Chain A
Amino acid sequence: MPLDSYENFASLVEPDRVHKACYADEKVFEAELENIFYKSWIYVGHESQVPNPGDYWTTWIGKERVIFCRAEDGKVHVLFNRCAHRGALLCNNQHGNVAKAFRCPYHAWQYNMDGSLRNVPLKKGYEGIIELNDPQLQLQRPARQETYRGFVFASLAEQGPSLDEWMGQGARSAFDDICNRSPEGECEIVMNCFRIIQHSNWKIFLENQLDAVHPSVTHHSTGDAAAQEQKIYKEKTGEDPPIGYQFLADFTLPIEKWDQFYTVGHPFGHTVLSGYMDLRPKDPVTVAHEDALTKAYGKERMDEILSTNVHHVLVYPCLSVQPPLQQLRAIRPLAANKTLTEIWHFRLKGAPEGVYDRSLQYYYHVNSPSTMVNADDLNNFRACQDGLELDGGGDWVSLHRNYGQDPVKDGITTSVGGMSEQPMRNMMAAWKEYMS
């Protein structure tokens, strides 16, 4: 089937296979923006990212550019990054602080941080023509804005499920599991955003995140190098190497081992990977963390919190979150074959410094612009995209592994094993629903 002859978008997705146009076709991509990114909830930022009035970060909702800021009254706002006068991009930096107002660099129109018009030059020229408090002269804002445990989302759709309904238990677990691990029940963003461009479709990234077959193949070289270095470190120093080495050496796990984990598919495409890393060895950091949580919540609750083994949560379509390591990657689709990721990590308020160090080591080894891990992923993503853009060689992507074998209960699918392609099928089923 050539790329332009399909009848409707829903026909591109079958229960066990997906047409390549879903990844390669710009028309499909434009429809995804309309039907998925502008209809669902999109993560914008964390409240702690803008601690003071006037603080702002710029980011994306689909192709729309928005400002995430804190106003003088302490409230957090999401605003379209477009001057109401002649349409210029208002904030041209990634982040900053404006003392009192956003000032357009073109003609000096000024806006308060809640988006209301503060001042314009040459007011006389508007007298009797348009009132300066006319809503069309304010900064426009997404139809809805909601916050869950400090994580701020916006939706361009007037209608639709509330953030809470949309998240459900699946997506909520990402934020609950981060915040619960703090003795104060809160996390705080670390003010650093690594931005990496993937030359591939946004779905390829999400699908890879819960693909338990790829690690021991894709990351073989990094796993080997780290395991070798662990030995050298121990021989030379007599001490255990930093835990970061283990994050990488985990990739030497035999492929069968990955099948012991499992994935859970929730409504709206949210998908969770459970099991995998054991982050509760009896090391001093873990013990100190246990003590801090016991003090705050009691032993039983501490046990419950730390034995939650959610390794990875995909909040469809916009986030990949790793709660036990406080990592968050936001997905900003720029074109069918171009995706920006904004990569953040968090501190757990009141937790011992060693817990943060663990998060920082993961951030460095897996998520920094010098990562040896995502380097190989990015290379695969690019190879997938290049292959999927070919006219010849076949039209479909196979999602057959363990198809029909994953038990479903109350609309929630639990994979038969870690290697089932359940996560991809779950996300594509949601895609089909959004696109129909």
Chain B
Amino acid sequence: MTVNAKVNVSKEAQLKVEQFLYHQSECLDERRWEEWLSLFTDDGIYWMPASRDQVTAEGQPNIFFEDHYLMDMRIRRIEHPYAHSQSAGHRTSHVVSNVIIQTQDKKNKSIEVTSRFHMVEYRLDQQRYFGGKYTHKLLETDVGYKIKQQRVDLANVEGPFDFVMQVWL
């Protein structure tokens, strides 16, 4: 049985991808940073463009553009005892939905999947909201999916931003 008219996707594949995306957002919300980072391939990229029509991250401004090293740096910084802006009960909560497998390349074991997210962030007695679209380029490996690239298109990409984003969305 197929669940997607555009691509011939089995129910099992759909379920597996959805579970992977849910797992990824749980890692963020539960602050399991190392586990979150391990979901990326060694050359995996987390990318949040600075505009909606941006086609490449290289050589131009981005909101996030982080490889393994920069993600690791951010983890070290978040967990540092003197990261005062992030202390005192910083929490996030994600909901991921509208999961659509856009392309499936069985030969190269790669999948491109889009989804929508809502995220609330609590910090300093205040809650703020983000929403947008994820585009995951996933590789199927022996240990499950790995993220080759995660693109995050924010609904409010132009800002203005109240404070800044300290963790990945």
Contact = CB atoms under 8 A, between A and B. Distances in A.
Interface residues of B, number: 34
Q: Which of B63, B69, B86 has the most chain A CB atoms inside 10 A of its CB?
A: B69
Interface in A182-232: 190, 192, 194-197, 199, 218, 220-222, 224-226, 228-229, 232
Nearest to A93: B158
A255 interface: no
B73 interface: yes
B61 A194 contact: yes
A195 B61 contact: no
Contacts of B60: 190, 192, 360
A363 interface: yes
A48 interface: no
Interface in B63-82: 63-65, 69-70, 72-74, 76-77, 80-82
A161 interface: no
B164 A232 contact: no
B89 interface: no
A143 to B, nearest CB: 28
B105 interface: no
A225 B77 contact: yes
Contacts of A196: 159-161, 163-164
A368 B62 contact: yes
B4 to A, nearest CB: 33
Chain A interface size range? 35 or more
Interface in A239-284: 241, 245, 248
A402 interface: no
A224 B50 contact: no
B20 to A, nearest CB: 24
A113 B120 CA distance: 42
A375 B61 contact: no
A213 B2 CA distance: 62
Nearest to B86: A375
B69 A370 contact: no
Contacts of B48: 370
B10 to A, nearest CB: 37
Interface of A: 94, 190, 192, 194-197, 199, 218, 220-222, 224-226, 228-229, 232-233, 241, 245, 248, 340, 345, 353, 356-357, 360, 363-364, 368-372, 374-376, 378-379, 382
Given A229-B72, A360-B60, A370-B64, 12 more contacts: A192-B51, A194-B50, A222-B77, A225-B73, A225-B80, A233-B69, A360-B59, A369-B161, A369-B165, A370-B164, A371-B164, A378-B163
27 contacts: A190-B61, A192-B51, A194-B161, A221-B77, A221-B81, A221-B84, A224-B77, A225-B76, A225-B77, A226-B73, A229-B72, A229-B73, A233-B69, A241-B69, A245-B73, A353-B59, A356-B59, A357-B59, A360-B59, A368-B50, A368-B63, A369-B159, A370-B164, A371-B164, A372-B74, A375-B166, A379-B85
